[in-house]
Structure 1
Amino acid sequence: MRTKISPSLMCMNLMEIKQQLAILNSRADFLHVDIMDGHYVKNITLSPFFIEQIRPYTPLAIDVHLMVEEPTDFIEAVAKAGADYICPHAETINRDAFRVINQIRALGKKPGVVLNPATPVSFIHHYIHLLDKITVMTVDPGYAGQPFIPEMINKIAELKALKEQHGYTWLIEIDGSCNQKTYTTLLDAGAEVLIVGTSGLFNLHANLETAWDDMMVNIAQAQSALRESA
């Protein structure tokens, strides 16, 4: 499977949204939108209104990451705003996971789930077959620019093995410190979608087109290194 790229829009230059979306539209596979409530994590970033504003300017799938204590307060709003994937944290839905997943599907959207670093894959065992995407946090949630947590490599490999064993179709996505230092390890473990933010994309160059090209060189080098070691 070709590695898919999902730029994290909270890391983009928000003063140049239209210009940067135009660049990403022909290059990215998804657009990653973080929504935080200031409670589940001590930060507030984007909103359903932001999704509504960018929806007319991109054909890409908008992937919404709900870092909120009460996902059901946001699901309908982000769906109406134009989200394609809706991904709450497993810790916030396990009391009513089946109801939440059914709600997302009933709205015509794809359900995903996000696993914090300390949350095991077994936490979602009973509904893992109902998902379209599983996001592994390789940093603690809340802020960009945190250091990579290497213990997450085993979790990614565990998901890859489960997917192959049972024929699951969900995507294995990585959120946190996806950059030149980690690409080889992440791809080797089984990562399929890379969420790229400051260190992986937007801080590589002031010109986003140049930054994208630099990122793709870094990813290609990681893929080449894996082929050579195979």
Structure 2
Amino acid sequence: MTYMISPSLMCMNLIEIKSQLEVLDTRADFLHIDIMDGHYVKNITLSPFFIEQIRPHTNLKIDVHLMVEEPSDFIDAVANAGADYICPHAETINRDAFRIINQIRKHNKKVGVVLNPATPVEYIKHYIHLLDKITVMTVDPGYAGQPFIPEMLNKIQELAALKKEHGYNYLIEIDGSCNTKTFHDLLGAGAEVLIVGTSGLFNLDPNLAVAWDKMTANIRQAEQAA
């Protein structure tokens, strides 16, 4: 079973950002950065400036999740700051999805789209073939630490089946409550990228290297049970 790990930096200890980035840079596959505008969700987190500050200190691909009302207002800034993947919510782009996709492509960046729990795969059917990554929210967006929504396993399975049937190239990524309680079901459903936050990684141990080892042991145990 192949999977990749994308730590959510909004959950890291920002006081220890340099040392924590050094730990992640040799272990993770992506760095996940949430940008919230306080309107699409009632929270404000990281920013294009944050991307610009960490870009020189990591070789990992930076994956930006845009939880914003107007993604087009942010795309140029996050691209220029050093993002590798830019992923707006389908609910915010469907009135101009092809224009948004082209805006991201003009920067030679990978295109992702994020689906809220109540948003069906059908919603993106006309441009699913253009996507490099699809993120399934397994919690409602906006805050860390919410409970897993088990109905999303069917959505992951649907995306995995479509990918196999049509030869699509998108990665299937999971955002929300990826931890020891859910690893087995997520991987079994077809998840390929796991975004890990407080419960999956950062709260496992004050020493991030130790926490990482505990997380990977939890995932290995889930794989063996699959």
Q: TM-score, normalised by structure 1?
A: 0.98
- 1:2 CA drift (Å): 2.0
User: For residue 154 of structure 1, what is the aligned residue in structure 2?
Assistant: 154
Deviations 1:182-212 (A, max 9, x none): 0000000000000000000000000000000
Residue identity matched to 2:83: A
Deviations 1:101-137 (A, max 9, x none): 0110111100000000000000000000000000000
Q: Where does structure 1 differ by over 2 angstroms across 4 or more consecutive aligned residues?
A: none
Corresponding residue for 2:28?
28
Aligned pair count reads 226
| SS of residue matched to 1:65 | strand
1:225: Cα distance to partner?
A: 0.6
Displacement of 1:66 in angstroms is: 0.1
Q: Counterpart of 1:104 in structure 2: which amino acid?
A: I
C-alpha RMSD over aligned residues: 0.5
Percent identical: 79
In structure 2, the residue corresponding to 1:62 is in which secondary structure?
Answer: strand
- Classify the secondary structure of the residue corresponding to 1:174: strand
Aligned residue runs from structure 1 range 1-230, under 5 A: 2-226=2-226
| Equivalent AA in structure 2 for residue 49 of structure 1 | F
TM-score, with length taken from structure 2: 0.99
Map Cα deviations across residues 47-83 of structure 1 (whole Å, 9 max, x no partner): 0000000000000000000000000000000000000
Report Cα offsets for 1:138-195 as digits up to 9, x if no partner: 0000000000000000000000000000011100000000000000000000000000
Aligned equivalents of 1:205, 1:8: Cα separation in 2: 16
Question: Which residue identity does 2:71 align to in structure 1?
Answer: P
Distance in 1 (alpha carbons) for counterparts of 2:213 and 2:119:
34
